[in-house]
Structure 1
Amino acid sequence: MIKGDRGFADVSVPSRVAILALNATLRPLGSVLPQNRLGVAAARLGLAVSCHIWFDNKLPHRSVDEPGPRGRTVGEWVGEPPRPGTPIIYYLHGSGYVGCSPATHRGLVSELVRRLGRPAFSLDYRLAPEHRFPAAHDDVLNGYLWLLEQGHAAEDIVLMGDSAGGHMTLGLAIQLRALSLPQPAAIVAFSPLVDATWSLAAERLTDVWDSFMSLGLASKMTGLYTGTAHFDDPRLDVLNGVGADLPPMLLQAGGAEMLSADAERFGAAQRAAGGRCEVQLWPGMFHVFQVGHRLLPESRAALTAVEQFVAAVESRSTARDPRTA
């Protein structure tokens, strides 16, 4: 598949430039960050800058800070705030549970809103190390319940996220099952974390060079949230929560990133359990490369595949709905 080949020769010239820039900046800087508040602040700044440099064309947004069923719901609507019955995106940003925000991901979310023709609610969940597990997961569940409380049906929601946000999309689906609550129509995750111990990623590093981050930094960042005693919690141990009762899923990852192993392993397990999970690995590409849609051909192609996946899910749902007969 990708063993022994980072895939660099297979990517476009703009993507090669981006990969070289990551190798020269974000990755080496991350490897020397101290494990303290200064290191966290520096990591947050680096992640925010890396999200903002793509010259995104952002849509208008409206901030939300309202009471929810299980606490405050904080985030923003990107695009026109919807009425009940309107298809929507529920987006969970990534960055290792310690950084970024709806503002840093507004460009990517805006592009998803344009392509899928539906507004998005982007959640501003609590971050580590100030807030440890399960704070972010509690916020994610509360945000979903808040959307239902606003009159948005579960079948009108496409749940999306990247990296740690992708991890939480899977964890939310498993938690909804445990609570006997309705599942979203579909899940789309970009470079999702699956194994919070990073064992799968460590194995993949024998085959790839991850230009975005080192294993040591990534595991330290998420460890500020997960600690060391919660890996068997179903919200974190998502690989053991697969099942045919979960929504159809699309997982995308870069072929040259260590979390490609996570996407592959989850997809295989979910299909073996009778579920539907499509996994797309993009040769030579890096972690959450979709954020570069304004500049990188591979990013645009990946988002086109998201459009096609969501359209196919909607088509099947319409075919099954007796009201359309």
Structure 2
Amino acid sequence: MTEWRSRSANAASILTLRQISAVLPPEQAWGLWAARQIVARIMDTFGPSLSGTTTVPVDTRTSDRRRVVGEWVYGRGVGHDATARAIYFVHGSGYALCSPRTHRRLTAWLSQLTGLPVFSIDYRLAPRHRFPSAADDVRAGWDWLIDDCGKSPKDLAIAGDSAGGHLAVDLLLQPEVPHPAALVLLSPLLDLTFELARTWERSRRDPAIRSRDAARLVELYCAGVEPGHPRLALDVSGGRPLPPALIHAGGAEMLAADAIALAEDMRRSGGDCDLHIWPDQAHVFQALPRISPSAAPAMREIASFIANSLYDSSIGEVG
């Protein structure tokens, strides 16, 4: 039954979202606006409940005057009282589409399951803000949590989906950046040329988007920059070992190839990485529990991983 529901949802995606993404021109303002509205509506319609969630907007500056914009998210039952531990969340969707608001249902669920507050960074979007704007904002948010909020890296976990995964890995490859206790990546984007995705597509097409359409979207952020730039073509296998990581991807999505390659590169560099490819699941299926029966067990696995990595298995309810 689970397999049937997932395949039915994927089939519906092929008939709707996949076709829409093929005809909306992200290079034009109206096409990008429409894509943002569609993605936001999907996340709202098929995401988890927001019941009991509270948020606190943040618009501040670091001690060296870099701007930090985002929101603290407290899931149901998670208090606002000061706590050392927290999760830093970096959203995805091609550097151009989403925001903490579109991902609020997912971050609220993550907060509820772990019992931890989640800080979701609102980095600047392409095409108005091109590379390295998003990466700079993600770095500013991380530095603010540590230097200005006084949090210890060992009490923090970083989570990111899709392009947010690329931004999180880029952050942690920088030699002077302190590492968190854990890294969680959902359908991470690694190869911005989409060659890995194109190879995967030859055997199974992604239910949500074609690689060429995804590449057009990402190009809004990377335009004018050489593909081999070290902040874009990440040298994970040759870089510093990353913190203990859990990577999830859907077996039906083209970025499963990126997830597999990223896990292999992390292990090659000396890091510890668990990879879970969920059969028949689409891109960032964890955000869509109303159509993906695998979302709930996947989120429980993520919550358990974070709890264990933060050396406190009593955090939250993960059962």
Q: Mark the runs of 5 or more structure 2 residues left unpaired by the alignment.
A: 314-319
Q: How far apart, in 1, do the equivalents of 2:302 and 2:143 lie?
A: 25
Q: 1:46 is matched with which residue? A: 38
Q: 1:31 is matched with which residue? A: 22
Q: 1:16 is matched with which residue? A: 7
Residue 244 of structure 1 and its aligned partner are, at CA, apart by 5.7
The answer to which of 234-243 and 291-300 deviates more is 234-243
Residue 42 of structure 1 and its aligned partner are, at CA, apart by 1.6
Letter in 2 for 1:123: I
Residue 231 of structure 1 and its aligned partner are, at CA, apart by 2.8
Residues 184 and 55 of structure 1, relative CA distance in 2, 3 Å threshold: closer
Residue 316 of structure 1 and its aligned partner are, at CA, apart by 9.1
Q: How far apart, in 1, do the equivalents of 2:110 and 2:225 lie?
A: 36
Residue 20 of structure 1 and its aligned partner are, at CA, apart by 2.4
Residue 279 of structure 1 and its aligned partner are, at CA, apart by 1.0
Letter in 1 for 2:301: A
The answer to which of 228-237 and 32-41 deviates more is 228-237
Give 3-state SS (helix, strand or coil) of 1:139's partner: helix
Q: How far apart, in 1, do the equivalents of 2:246 and 2:131 lie?
A: 26
Residue 46 of structure 1 and its aligned partner are, at CA, apart by 1.6
Residues 124 and 108 of structure 1, relative CA distance in 2, 3 Å threshold: same
Q: How far apart, in 2, do the equivalents of 1:65 and 1:54 lie?
A: 29
Residue 107 of structure 1 and its aligned partner are, at CA, apart by 0.4
Residues 12 and 241 of structure 1, relative CA distance in 2, 3 Å threshold: same
Q: How far apart, in 1, do the equivalents of 2:22 and 2:12 lie?
A: 15
User: What is the aligned counterpart of 1:139 among 137, 140, 143?
Assistant: 137
Are 1:86 and 1:118, in contact at CA under 8 Å, matched by a contact in 2?
Answer: no
- Larger relative helix fraction: 1
Give 3-state SS (helix, strand or coil) of 1:75's partner: strand
Residue 267 of structure 1 and its aligned partner are, at CA, apart by 0.6
Residue 294 of structure 1 and its aligned partner are, at CA, apart by 4.5
Residue 138 of structure 1 and its aligned partner are, at CA, apart by 0.4
Q: How far does the alpha carbon of each residue in 1:110-159 deviate from its partner, in whole angstroms, 9 at most, with x for none?
A: 11001111000011110000000000000000000111121111111110
Give 3-state SS (helix, strand or coil) of 2:294's partner: helix
Q: How far does the alpha carbon of each residue in 1:6-49 deviate from its partner, in whole angstroms, 9 at most, with x for none?
A: xxxx8434323322221121110110112312221121112111
Q: How far does the alpha carbon of each residue in 1:78-103 deviate from its partner, in whole angstroms, 9 at most, with x for none?
A: 014452x5210101111100011111
Q: 1:250 is matched with which residue? A: 246
Letter in 1 for 2:69: V
Give 3-state SS (helix, strand or coil) of 1:53's partner: helix
The aligned length equals 305
Root mean square deviation, CA, Å: 2.0
Q: How far apart, in 1, do the equivalents of 2:196 and 2:137 lie?
A: 27
Identity of aligned residues (%): 40
Residues 125 and 14 of structure 1, relative CA distance in 2, 3 Å threshold: same
Q: How far apart, in 2, do the equivalents of 1:282 and 1:125 lie?
A: 29
Question: Structure 2 matches for 1:1-325, cutoff 5 A?
Answer: 11-34=2-25, 35-58=27-50, 59-68=53-62, 69=64, 71-79=66-74, 80-81=79-80, 83=82, 85-148=83-146, 149-175=148-174, 178=175, 180-240=176-236, 243=239, 245-315=241-311
Letter in 1 for 2:60: E
Give 3-state SS (helix, strand or coil) of 1:78's partner: strand
Letter in 2 for 1:152: K
Are 1:30 and 1:217, in contact at CA under 8 Å, matched by a contact in 2?
Answer: yes
Q: 2:316 is matched with which residue? A: none
Q: How far apart, in 2, do the equivalents of 1:47 and 1:236 lie?
A: 24
Q: How far apart, in 2, do the equivalents of 1:190 and 1:55 lie?
A: 15
Residues 160 and 82 of structure 1, relative CA distance in 2, 3 Å threshold: farther
Residues 57 and 214 of structure 1, relative CA distance in 2, 3 Å threshold: same
- TM-score, normalised to structure 1's length? 0.88
Q: How far apart, in 1, do the equivalents of 2:285 and 2:225 lie?
A: 31
Residue 312 of structure 1 and its aligned partner are, at CA, apart by 2.9
Are 1:234 and 1:241, in contact at CA under 8 Å, matched by a contact in 2?
Answer: no
